[in-house]
Copies of this chain bind each other. A is one copy, B any other.
Amino acid sequence: MEAERVELLSAVEDQYGGVVVNVENHEPMDPKFFSSILEASMYNWRQQGKKGVWLKLPILHSNLVDSAVKAGFRYHHAEADYLMLVRWIPDTPDTFPANASHRVGIGAFVFNSEKEMLVVQERNGVFGGTGVWKMPTGVVNEGEDFCEAAVREVREETGIETKFVEVLAFRQSHKSFFEKSDLFFVCMLQPLSFDIQIQASEIEAAKWMPIEDYAAQPFVQGNENFDFVEKICSSKLDGNYTGFSNVCSCTSSGKKSYLYFSNRDASLLLASKKEQA
């Protein structure tokens, strides 16, 4: 008698007692066939005492989403080209980590030796056509350090090369985009070049502007947050403010991360840290 062979989904184990299934076939699959191997696989994982099952379905396999939901999976998160579903096997509350909850944005405070501030007029969005001069801003890309995002945005919008100095302040706000929240970091950058070349698609105009003129704009004066951030920037210009500097550390696995802290207070710590490195 021949042993019956059942096809199973290929999965890798995660470090929390679960499995991760990445449906990588480049050809569409039949939903009925998928349902049958998903069922057999679930039986197998249950026998093995697995806990959480992660199922990553590329958008090519959108025809399998319904089968997964019918098999007890729920959505976890999605990106443009895939949907991640999860199912918890034991009779205990699931311990799946939460989905990403925040977008991260930056504003760049750049000033030259005449204490002029780099400002732009945006072509689109809420500031489009308003004539408001504002600091360059932007959204941090996936996997990007926000200190590097600030340098990139200033380069893209104005052609000015800069280097990151400090976080002067930051703001957390909610429901900025469906149920998601925002963290916005005001970064001070030191300019390394001064000739402006604007990004015509997004920027109407850019210039170096005396900070008093920036501050005198009715929009800035009338907006509590803009006004307060301007006062912090002015204090910084006058040498009366210290934000958070950063230091980069690498884990043993080579993952890089930046720690932000008050360097004035911790300058000795930083020095000792750099000696160690």
Contacts and interface: CB of A to CB of B under 8 A. Distances in A.
Nearest to A99: B79
A255 B175 CA distance: 9
B225 A257 contact: yes
A102 B102 contact: yes
Interface string A128-151: 000000000001111101100000
A13 interface: no
A35 B83 CA distance: 21
Nearest to A74: B80
Contacts of A81: 74-75
Interface residues of A, number: 77
A180 B141 CA distance: 10
Interface in A31-84: 59, 62-63, 65-66, 68-70, 74-84
Interface of A: 59, 62-63, 65-66, 68-70, 74-84, 95, 97-104, 124, 139-143, 145-146, 168-175, 177-181, 183, 224-225, 228-229, 231-232, 235, 240-244, 247, 249, 251, 255-262, 265-266, 269, 273
**Top 8 closest pairs, chain A to chain B, by CB:** A78-B78, A173-B257, A169-B261, A62-B69, A75-B78, A241-B265, A100-B100, A102-B102
